[in-house]
A and B are shown apart, each in its own frame.
Chain A
């Protein structure tokens, strides 16, 4: 897996021939992008990703999606209002009564 393979000459990847030598593949970029959400990449890694993204729409979209997921995650609608309509998300009255009882007992 470590040997550099030449990228496809697919229309989607119109990059100058010489760059192919340095360019990580989409798969490698998908790993590095995920990694960049958790830790700092090396200069070389950052550069490879950056150049790849200039030419690759799919990897740009992949990165955008991960960014969107992370930012959506910061706004839990539950903490704003609670109507997540999922039946198994509702507590039974029975359990609520037991809860009340144990609070009473332990207070």
Chain B
């Protein structure tokens, strides 16, 4: 139909497998699962290769297929995960705010956010960010990491996430809140590396 032909499938693995694998690892943090979704992506690409329109680059096309596979995977994996054990005050070790007294509701001094002083045009800095993001996602509880990946990395709408993961909006709100709170702290501690000046 279209004159924009996709390249020979025998060249795909050399051209795209590393990229797709890294992309999947970043989001799934599990190499055998990442291998699976990469494989599924190539198989789906084979089936759909006649639909490749050439409107986007080949790489973009592969990444788009992979994104769907990743979301599918998270949706399935979420069945095994408890999204309820996330009561707002479940863990005192992570409590970021003063719980009682005249200062109740204020930031615990050593948990107060600091100024990251980022330069938005600095590409090296962006790469650094992604390295630490990968680490910080890997230490986040699974349910939080899943929600964060869907919301912030795959830019899914909250309603869709609720549907996919079968959680209610209030629960999503709490999980994503905890994820953001912990992730920003983790990035601050490990990437920005500043000890709080209080």
Contacts and interface: CB of A to CB of B under 8 A. Distances in A.
Interface of A: 5-10, 13, 25-28, 30-31, 34-35, 37-39, 58-59, 61-62, 64-66, 68-73, 75-80, 82, 84-86, 88-91, 95-96, 99-100, 102-104, 106-107
A25 B131 CA distance: 33
Interface stretch (B19-27, B70-78, B79-87): B19-27
For B39, B113, B115, B187, the residue with the greatest tally of chain A CB atoms inside 10 Å of its CB is: B113
A77 B130 contact: yes
Contacts of A31: 173, 177
B93 interface: no
A105 B146 CA distance: 34
Contacts of A73: 152-153
Q: Give the interface residue-count category, chain B.
A: 35 or more
Contacts of B130: 72, 76-78, 84
Given A25-B106, A34-B177, A91-B21, 5 more contacts: A61-B112, A78-B23, A78-B26, A84-B131, A99-B39
A72 B31 contact: no
Contact of A103 (B42, B127, B131, B180): B42
Interface in B104-125: 104-107, 112-116, 118, 120, 123
Contacts of B127: 77, 84
For A10, A34, A91, A102, the residue with the greatest tally of chain B CB atoms inside 10 Å of its CB is: A91
Contacts of A107: 9-10, 46
B103 A90 contact: no
Interface of B: 9-10, 12-14, 17-19, 21-23, 25-26, 31, 35, 38-39, 42-43, 46, 59, 63, 96-97, 102-107, 112-116, 118, 120, 123, 126-127, 129-131, 133-134, 151-153, 158, 173, 176-177, 180-181, 183-184, 187-188
A66 B189 CA distance: 15
Contact of B13 (A10, A34, A96): A96
A76 B181 CA distance: 21
A103 B41 CA distance: 11
Contacts of A27: 96-97, 105-106
B134 A86 contact: yes
Contacts of B113: 58-59, 61-62, 64-65
Given A5-B104, A7-B106, A99-B13, A62 B184 contact: yes
Contact of A100 (B10, B23, B151): B10
A91 B130 CA distance: 19
Given A8-B102, A65-B184, A77-B126, A88 B25 contact: yes
Contacts of B106: 7-8, 10, 13, 25-27
A100 B38 CA distance: 12
